[in-house]
Amino acid sequence: KNVYVICCTTDISGLQKTFQSRAVMYRLSRLSTKEMVSLLAQESSYRNLDIQGGIPTLELIAHWSDQKPRAALKVL
């Protein structure tokens, strides 16, 4: 009762058709530079980090990480 299965993939063709027909699919897109900078600013504030260069540095980190939050947080 009340079992939820969450499956993440970059290639939907690898999933069986029966699974695809029963699943609700959500497509996720990359974050914009503005969203990435906001995320990085929030995280740096939470961690009490002083970022030299401010917003331009966070924009550079967002660019280096190819707009991927996990990669950006590793750089941060």
Question: What's residue 61's pLDDT?
Answer: 93
Question: What's residue 59's pLDDT?
Answer: 94
Write the burial class of residue 13 (CB in 10 Å: 0-12 exposed, 13-18 middle, 19+ buried). exposed
The answer to pTM > 0.75 is no
- SS3 label, residue 9: coil
Question: What's residue 39's pLDDT?
Answer: 94
Mean pLDDT for the chain? 89
Digit-coded pLDDT (tens) for 9-37: 888 888 888 888 888 888 888 889 999 99
Digit-coded pLDDT (tens) for 39-56: 999 999 999 999 999 999
Q: Are 42 and 67 in contact (CB under 8 A)?
A: no
